[in-house]
Amino acid sequence: MEAELRTRWPESRLSPTLVRMAALADALGSPQQAFPVIQITGTNGKTSTARMIDSLLRSFGLRVGRFTSPHLTSVTERIVIDGDPISAERFVEVYDEIAPFVALVDAAQELALSYFEVLTGMGLAAFADAPVDVAVLEVGMGGAWDTTNVADAQVAVITRVALDHTNYLGPDVATIAIEKAGIIKAEATAVLAAQDPVAAEVLVRRVVEVDATVAREGAEFGIAQRAVAVGGQVLGLQGLGGKYDEIYLGLHGEHQAHNAALALAAVEAFFGAGAATGPMDIDAVRAGFAAVTSPGRLESVRSAPTVLIDAAHNPAGMAASVAALEDAFDFTRLIGVLACLADKDVRGILEIAETVLNEVVVTQNSSPRGLSADELAAIAVPVFGADRVVVVPDLPTAIETAVEMAETDMDVLSGVGVLITGSVVTAGDARALLVGRD
């Protein structure tokens, strides 16, 4: 059945319009209107923030549907109800239920529905059928014309806007911000991460234009304290309704603390919490954050040597990961395993990764858009120098090679690590090899 879905336009090929998605939603009876929606866009941190929002909402007793993309190891990860991906059997059932309506829309449109449009329809239908109390929808790309924008979100969350997908979204931060601002609708609350001033101006202008409400990191909410802890960090967060202390988050890096502040403010906005109401129940907030996981985000999958998997796939994401590595780990030697997609700023990714990697094993992931190991080496050698670059054509052997390189430092093995990164696809491939399909 997934093979049948894959015959449709892939996620890497877009037709920027909501016409087909709106037609599908209408044919399905507008499932997106069956529940309130919290929608998330931005450049990096969307999935982690979505997972935090989901966990917080469930800690307050709500049944939550979560739609995120891309997946790491199984497409069923994209449609989550009550914290668990839908089963393969249910995935097929939902597809079969909406297939007649998909065929009707295909027949009526100039272009057939894309892979992502059908998946979005499946997610919305599954949530309406469950039913869920609230849906957390992560934008696939952009905002205004993204398939998830067929819903009118009560809370619109925007992580930091940076350069990515410039061939579709525009050449600069201001243009990209205009696209992302499209998820802010009339009478919604826009919850904004700290932004580049140019992006902030665009987003706030949209808030004013549609008569929405705004909550901004650094003004209405933010991080009050942060301390590195075993396996993560302990936070003090200033929320819309007051201060929340002693929040344990089992994720590494200051960027995840910012995501946590954003998630908390989004949930407060959803519940209507603010200065007049005071903070939400602290025990529920602590429990929600303590339960958060985010696979493939500086995820440790083995020790001696430590092997980390990270989905950084653009310069801004790699910069956040590098800062987190320096913040939370004390490696004396770090070996990278990198595989990247051809349509990314690969040199920009490598230049940032080079600051923490002693050597790099360049390889190829399973994506048809992936650079070959030799193509990636041609970009890596001018950045790292030829003596720091090892070329291994396939990812499993590349990981074995990096681990063997790390194990040569037996005397200082506790300070040696392997970082597998460069793409969400790379992270997913590595998890399938090292963790399995959980």
Q: What pLDDT does residue 415 have?
A: 87
* Euclidean distance between CA atoms 388 and 218, whole angstroms: 41
Question: What is the CATH code of the structural domain delimited by 299-434?
Answer: 3.90.190.20
Cis (ω within 30 of 0) for the bond into 10?
no
Looking at residue 81, its pLDDT comes to 98
Radius of gyration of the chain (CA): 21
The DSSP code for 313 is: -
What is 213-248 written as a DSSP string? EEEEBTTTBEEEEEEEETTEEEEEEE-SSSEEEEEE
Q: Give pLDDT, residue 274.
A: 86
Confidence (pLDDT) at 336 = 98
Q: What is the pLDDT of residue 329?
A: 92
Q: Give the pLDDT score at 165.
A: 52
Q: Which residues of the chain have pLDDT under 70?
A: 1-3, 6, 9-14, 163-171, 409-414, 437-438
Residue ranges of the chain assigned to CATH 3.90.190.20: 299-434
Q: What pLDDT does 379 receive? A: 98
**pLDDT score at 410:** 57
- pLDDT score recorded for residue 287: 98
Residues 6+ apart with CB under 8 A from 306: 300, 329, 331, 416, 417, 418
Task: Provide the CATH number for the domain formed by 2-290 in this structure.
Answer: 3.40.1190.10
Query: Residue 167 has what pLDDT?
Result: 53
Domain with CATH 3.40.1190.10 in the chain: 2-290
Q: What is the pLDDT of residue 168?
A: 53
pTM here is 0.93
pLDDT of residue 185: 97
